[in-house]
Amino acid sequence: MRKSLTAILFILLPVVVIGGMAAFSRDTTKRNREFPTQMEYSPAYLSQTANPVLPNKMTLQPPVAGTIPRGFTPFHYGATPEEAIRAGSELANPFQATPENLARGQYIYTNSCAVCHGTTGAGDGPVIPKFPNPPSYLTDAAKALPDGTMFHVITMGRNNMASYAAQVSAEDRWRVVLYIRSLQGK
Ligand code: HEC
């Protein structure tokens, strides 16, 4: 009796296990059953998807007109020579010529400006004369340029000088003005 029970177990067990594996196996190239689907698919709209409710049919909305990022000072000047003069009469450099600010200004100047304006500010950088040369900073006219006008030129660009607003932050533009002043011996 005992022997036959063991024999049955030895034969039945593999049949049950292998049969079960075969019965519950699935085609892994096909999608499985999903449960519960509410956890998988949120009813909220995803940021990048179309939206039938909101204006312009987009889920991600642009910021409200006039929104100012935290810590950003707006620059309310147009890109004309008159506006550069107005900036010169209205704006003052918010930074002092501390060793830290001058060192940062020098870093920006060396990396972004010296290629045209030259290391001493004489307007004789390595790309000159392939590029039309900028005016020297060392003339009396350049020394008399107000800080705000310089900031305007660096921010908005002027003629052959492109705007550096995208590459150099407003703070660093003021610091580079400090550094130009030091080149001018001020
Ligand atoms: C690709 C060359 C080039 C680079 C790089 C360049 N500038 Fe200029 N810059 C010029 C030219 C050319 C002018 C003259 C523009 C004009 O004809 O009105 C100028 C003019 C200026 C002026 C006005 C000078 C004056 O006497 O009126 C300032 C200030 C100035 N640049 C600052 C900078 C600063 C700061 C940087 C770096 C962030 C920089 N520039 C990078 C070419 C360059």
CA 97 to chain centre: 28
Task: From 116, 133, 143, 173, give the residue whose CB has the most ligand 1 atoms within 8 Å, as the site to mutate.
Answer: 116
Q: Is the CB of 177 under 6 A from ligand 1?
A: no
Protein residue with its CA nearest to atom 13 in ligand 1: 134
Phi, psi of 157 (to 5 degrees): 80, 165
Q: Is the CB of 158 under 6 A from ligand 1?
A: yes
DSSP for residue 167:
T
Task: From 149, 153, 184, give the residue whose CB has the most ligand 1 atoms within 8 Å, as the site to mutate.
Answer: 153
Instruction: Determine the Cα–Cα distance for residues 151 and 73; give it in Å rounded to an integer.
Output: 13
The closest alpha carbon to 181, from 75, 85, 92, 83, belongs to 92
pTM of the model: 0.74
Tokens (6 digits) for 8 = 């049955």
Given a cut of 80, is residue 26 above it in pLDDT? no
Q: Is the CB of 79 under 6 A from ligand 1?
A: no
Protein residue with its CA nearest to atom 3 in ligand 1: 116
pLDDT of amino acid 25: 78
pLDDT of amino acid 49: 92
pLDDT of amino acid 22: 78
CATH topology (fold) of 81-183: Cytochrome Bc1 Complex; Chain D, domain 2 (1.10.760)
Q: Is the CB of 135 under 6 A from ligand 1?
A: yes
The Cβ of residue 47 has, within 10 Å, a number of other Cβ atoms equal to: 10
pLDDT of amino acid 127: 92
Given a cut of 80, is residue 38 above it in pLDDT? no
Ligand 1 centroid–CA 30 distance in Å is: 63
Closest-lying ligand 1 atom to the alpha carbon of residue 132: 12
Q: pLDDT for 112-143, tens place per residue?
A: 999 999 999 999 999 988 888 899 999 999 99
Instruction: Determine the Cα–Cα distance for residues 116 and 136; give it in Å rounded to an integer.
Output: 10
Domain map of the chain by residue range?
81-183
Q: Is the CB of 168 under 6 A from ligand 1?
A: yes
Contacts 24+ apart (CB under 8 A), 69-72: 72/170
Given a cut of 70, is residue 1 above it in pLDDT? no
Q: Is the CB of 142 under 6 A from ligand 1?
A: yes
Instruction: Determine the Cα–Cα distance for residues 186 and 181; give it in Å rounded to an integer.
Output: 5
Instruction: Determine the Cα–Cα distance for residues 73 and 80; give it in Å rounded to an integer.
Output: 20
Question: Considering the chain, what percentage of its residues have pLDDT values greater than 70?
Answer: 98
Q: pLDDT for 68-116, tens place per residue?
A: 988 888 899 999 999 999 999 999 999 999 999 999 999 999 999 999 9
